[in-house]
Amino acid sequence: SARPSRRANNSIGPTAVAVRNYVKEKANLCQPDDIYLCDGSEEENKRFLEIMRRAGGIAKPLRKMDNCWLVRTDPADVARVESKTVISTADKRQTVPIPKEGVKGQLGNWMSPSDLQAALQDRFPGCMAGRAMYIIPFSMGPLTDSPYVVASMRIMTRMGRSALDAIQGDNYVKCLHSVGLPLKDISKPLVQNWPCNPSKILISHIPDRNEIASFGSGYGGNSLLGKNTCSFWASLIRAANKKYVAAAFPSACGKTNLAMLQPTLPGYKVECVGDDIAWMKFDADGSFARYQPEAGFFGVAPGTCSHTNPNAMRTIQSNTIFTNVGETGDGGVLLGGPGEGGFAWTPPLASPAGEARCGLRTAATRPPIRTRVSAPRPSQCPSMDRLGESRGVPISAVIFGGRPPAGVPLVFEANSWQHGVFIGASMRSEATAAASTRGKVIMHDPSPCARSSATTLLTTSTTG
């Protein structure tokens, strides 16, 4: 068997009783063959990557690069599915705006607790039959049956025993994920050997119970349950005057490029604390501080090259998981940057002709090309800020951004904090390939956090 045995790791030690009870409850519900507690070690990571390599080639090493792996997914599972992402609370009015009768709201999908319970009961019982359940304790643990999620969570979070030991009582967010495809239910070959159940996808948030449950999708935006908000922060240095800036952009709107900026103005330097998520609060001294909950980068690859983002290109040369990118004949990758030539899909993409373009979104599938890279150390990311990993940093400015096609100035400044809140709340942006929305739809995206408003509410309710 390619799965780790329950006997190989069957003790979770002096773990909080609430964690033990949660694991026992979900194991009885999902009926996995094995249960495995992840420790986050490099040895374990190598074992999981090998599991994916042996499991029909879900992951393959890129021989031209240092510890880099290529993963290809089912074309039906390549995007966040906002229409199937819900939040469940007793009072709808406290959760989402309620439009007039006959009008569908655009901010948040509410589901009653009884309807959600019925939907979860229709999906999760026995969903891990024939598979292993992996317990991932992480600092920001989900339970999942996907080795891909385990390997990605190790990159994106501070994962392992120390995170598990830090959980006291019931004050933690409980996350359950399944690809939704028991081995016994597989009746035909999987596309790219990628397990998923697109017709039954459901990503649910239950603030009253501090729970997230995701079913049917292995795509990172739906399955890496620590990744459900949108923000990044960078530090700008001019001589000895160092300032930190936080920004919130929708997907594929330039967060990573801005966070890893190389300034051309003399005397300026930009350092990166993170490129996606930031947590914000007022410190004891009243300063506005942000903290970096992630330990890696999660970027959209199309257009990335040495011209647009040289720091990113240097960072991804090692310890990276690439998803749905093109592979060169000598074992490298093509990201769809300017000037790149031909490539070969190995194996061929299982989709209609003309769709297998590295980094070039076609009208038929527009598959998001993702890279995931662990880079908490300055030695891997050349512009990494050395202080942001260990403590919060004071924020001097907040930037809201997006991709409105017309009618909005390229850059403008708020007149006051109140005006800035209004600007953030009224943001609209063109949909990107990272979402399931088709076409150039202009979407309301306040702050911009529309895709993760349920998780934002969940985080607020649990942390105060």
Residue pair 346/192 in contact (Cβ under 8 Å)? The answer is no
With beta carbons less than 8 A apart as the criterion, state whether 298 and 276 touch.
yes
Given phi > 0 = left and psi -120 to 50 = alpha, else beta, which region is 354?
left
DSSP β-ladder status, 211-215 and 59-61: unpaired
d(CA 127, CA 119): 13
Find the Cα–Cα–Cα–Cα dihedral 444, 200, 297, 336, rounded to 10°: -80
**DSSP strand E in 352-426: where?**
370-374, 393-400
Distance CA 256, CA 267 (A): 22
Burial class (CB in 10 A: 0-12, 13-18, 19+), 202: buried
Determine the Cα–Cα distance for residues 256 and 308; give it in Å rounded to an integer.
11
Catalytic residue selected from 68, 127, 175, 253: 253
Q: Are 77 and 218 in contact (CB under 8 A)?
A: yes
List the structure tokens of 362.
């076609």
CA distance 47 to 385: 31
The pair of three-digit structure tokens given for residue 86, joined into one six-digit string = 């819900």
In three-state secondary structure terms, 204 is strand
| DSSP H or E run through 425 | helix 417-425
Q: Is 253 marked active-site?
A: yes
User: Could you list the active site residues?
Assistant: 253
